Amino acid sequence: MRRHLSYANVAATLAVVISMSGGALAADHYLINSTKQISPKVIKKLTGKRGPSGREGAQGKEGKEGKEGRQAQIPGIAWTRLSLENGWAEYSSEHKYGGVPAYAKDDQGFVHLTGVVTGISATKAVLATLPVAFRPASGAWVPVGNSNGEFKPYPVDIWIDPAGEIAVLNGTGANDNLVSLEGVEFYAG
């Protein structure tokens, strides 16, 4: 058989090359590389029912221990007993209320009062005088609780003047039977 170029051979060869390149072009154009290219209806039909859960995996390795934190350093407050004057006295120790009247200053410059006093025998409103380092620069006015021994609260005010005098200023009906100093605090630098 002789080899020679004929029209039929050329046409057949061209037909094979074109059909193969067109198929490759179509495959490249219609290649699916994301589920967004598929209709949600088709995906729903392709999705099967969820199977049973598998066994729980083994416990993982324990992680490295973190650095130990610093323990909080809360400075203690040193309480000093108030020297009561003008007939004021510590509220009866036979009762379960209050405590010893005292004062202290924290490391931020705030002065705190504690305890309960009675002014039944008081001759003046001033119950004590604070030392210089514990006095407010321009005075401090603090509302506190008072009871006339009837377990009914009566409002009274504590006034600490710049000279350090602590005075009880009575409201209506108060007789100073029990005056609480708990919670009284003010800045003294």
- The domain spans of the chain are 7-45, 80-187
Report H helices in 36-141: 40-46
User: Mind listing the pLDDT tens digit for each residue in 56-90?
Assistant: 888 888 888 888 877 777 778 899 999 999 999 99
Which tens digit of pLDDT belongs to each residue from 147-166?
A: 776 677 778 899 999 999 99
Tokens 């025998």, residue located: 121
Interval 97-145: pLDDT, tens: 668 999 999 989 999 999 999 888 889 999 999 999 999 999 999 988 8
pLDDT value of position 30: 65
- Domain 80-187: assigned CATH number: 2.60.40
- pTM (2 decimals)? 0.59
Instruction: Look up residue 148 and give its two tokens.
Output: 């006339």
Phi and psi at 97, nearest 5°, equal -90, 155
CA 83 to chain centre: 40
